[in-house]
Amino acid sequence: MPEPSEMPAHYGDLDSARNTWTEMLQSAVSERTHPFKKPVLATIDLEGKPKARIVILRGLDLETRSIRLHTDARSAKIDEIGRNPDVMLAFYDPVKEIQIQVSGIASVHQSDVYAEVAWKGAAPSSRRAYLAEIKPGTNLSAPASGLPADVEGKIPSEERLAGARSNFAAIQVVFEQVEWLFLSPNGNRRARFEWQPDRWVGTWLAP
């Protein structure tokens, strides 16, 4: 068991806990293998049931407390967010034993500056997915990627990728609450951080 002196500062200090999750989110935007790179996005589906799936963390803006995700504009989550913009993103780092649950309000961007900047910043290999000819989730009579044959296994040219733009959407999640959980053999720690209205206010919770 670690000695109390070996415990990270965030074990007993709310500001350190907040700084830690902020830095972890920031790092994950640029580090492909960061454990926070692939959170679970939960929405409420059109029948009122929960739906959860992995997405890639694409951007973080601490000024506006917003997270950017990319998706296919034809995917089910777009209609779900349109019906109910309340979403949660769950992140977990198995080495640091830290989970955060980020609650926010999502908005879908397809043809504005936000979407355009996101599209231009995405790698060609990522943009290729939006060339799929069939709406995600459609029943198929045989297994298939849905991509046109000429781009299967290839990185398409910029000219070819232009045809994918109309299927691309950026999702902006503005968050005002973050729950933090740190697992430790010395005793777990849990806290909630709320934006109120110009700073984060943290409260310890029973784990």
Ligand X SMILES: Cc1cc2nc3c(=O)[nH]c(=O)nc-3n(C[C@H](O)[C@H](O)[C@H](O)COP(=O)(O)O)c2cc1C
Residues that bind ligand X (CB under 6 A): 38, 51, 53-56, 69-72, 75-77, 136-137
Smallest gap from residue 130 Cβ to ligand X (A): 10
State how far the Cα of 174 lies from the Cα of 62, in Å rounded to an integer.
10
Smallest gap from residue 54 Cβ to ligand X (A): 4
Angle at 35 between CA 29 and CA 36, to 5 degrees: 45
For residue 197, with 0-12 CB atoms within 10 Å meaning exposed, 13-18 middle and 19 or more buried, which class applies? exposed
Q: Which is nearer to ligand X, 120 or 199 (CB)?
A: 120
Do residues 25 and 35 make contact, with C-beta atoms less than 8 angstroms apart? no
Q: Which is nearer to ligand X, 75 or 99 (CB)?
A: 75
Smallest gap from residue 99 Cβ to ligand X (A): 18
Tell me the β-bridge partners of 203. 192
Smallest gap from residue 80 Cβ to ligand X (A): 7
Identify the CA nearest to 89 among candidates 22, 56, 40: 40
Q: Which is nearer to ligand X, 76 or 174 (CB)?
A: 76
SS3 94: coil
Q: Which is nearer to ligand X, 44 or 56 (CB)?
A: 56
Q: Which is nearer to ligand X, 12 or 124 (CB)?
A: 124
Smallest gap from residue 141 Cβ to ligand X (A): 19
**Phi/psi of residue 6, nearest 5 degrees:** -90, -5
**Phi/psi of residue 116, nearest 5 degrees:** -65, -45
